[in-house]
Amino acid sequence: MFKRLLIANRGEIAVRIIRACQELGIETVAVYSDVDEHALHVQLADYAYHIGPADAAQSYLNMEAILAAATATKAEAIHPGYGFLSENADFADLVTNSGFIWVGPRSETIRKVGNKDAARAAMKAAGLPMTKGTNPIKNNEEAYQFAEELGYPVILKPVSGGGGKSMFVINTRQDLETALHKVDVTKAAFYFENYISQSRHIEVQIMADNFGNILHLGERECSLQRRNQKILEEAPSSALTSEMRHKVGALAIRAAKSVHYTNVGTVEFLMDVKSGKFYFMEINPRIQVEHAITETITGIDLVRRQIRIAAGEPLNKRQEDIQYLGHAIECRINAEDPENHFLPAPGQIEFYHEPGGPRVRIDSGVCAGLAVEPYYDSMIAKVIAHGRTRGDAIKIMIRALNEFRITGIKTTIPFHQRVLSNPHFCTGDIDTQFVYKHMSSCEPVKPKKLNPRAADTSLVNSAW
Q: What is the pLDDT of residues 282-300, one digit of tens each?
A: 999 999 999 999 999 999 9
List, by residue range, all CATH 3.30.470.20 domains of the chain. 199-439
Domain 199-439 architecture: 2-Layer Sandwich (3.30)
* pLDDT score, position 227: 81
Residue 86 in 3-state DSSP? coil
- For residue 1, CA distances in Å to 19, 44, 209, 311, 377 come to 16, 21, 15, 5, 32
Q: CA-to-CA distance for 439 and 345, rounded, in angstroms?
A: 20
What single-letter amino acid sits at 227?
R
pLDDT attached to residue 458: 35
Please give the Cα distance from 207 to 309 (Å, whole number): 9
pLDDT for res 99: 98
**Angle at alpha carbon of residue 324, lines to 318 and 328, rounded to 5°:** 140
CA distances from 421 to 196, 259, 337, 436 (A): 27, 42, 19, 16
4-103 CATH fold: Rossmann fold (3.40.50)
Which residues belong to CATH 3.40.50.20 in the chain? 4-103
With beta carbons less than 8 A apart as the criterion, state whether 421 and 451 touch: yes
Question: Could you read off the pLDDT of 330-360 as tens digits, one per residue?
Answer: 999 999 999 998 999 999 999 999 999 999 9
Where along the chain do the CATH 3.30.1490.20 domains lie? 140-194
The single residue of 200, 226, 286, 418 carrying the catalytic annotation is 286
Q: Outline where DSSP puts E strands in 327-375.
A: 327-334, 336-337, 343-344, 347-348, 351-353, 360-364, 371-372
Q: What is the CA radius of gyration of the chain?
A: 22
Q: Sign of torsion, CA 425 430 435 437? A: negative
245 is annotated as an active-site residue: no
How many CA atoms does the CB half-sphere of 336 hold within 13 Å? 22
pTM: 0.90
Give the pLDDT of residue 106.
97
Question: What pLDDT does 452 receive?
Answer: 40
Per-residue pLDDT 10s for the chain (464 aa) are: 999 999 999 999 999 999 999 999 999 999 999 999 999 999 999 999 999 999 999 999 999 999 999 999 999 999 999 999 999 999 999 999 999 999 999 999 999 999 888 898 999 999 999 999 999 999 999 999 999 999 999 999 998 765 566 789 999 999 999 999 999 999 889 999 999 989 999 999 999 999 999 999 999 999 999 888 899 999 999 999 999 999 999 999 999 999 999 999 999 999 999 999 999 999 999 999 999 999 999 999 999 999 999 999 999 999 999 999 999 999 999 999 999 989 999 999 999 999 999 999 999 999 999 999 999 999 999 999 999 999 999 999 999 999 999 999 999 999 999 999 999 999 999 999 999 899 865 444 444 443 443 334 333 333 33
**Span 140-194: which CATH code?**
3.30.1490.20
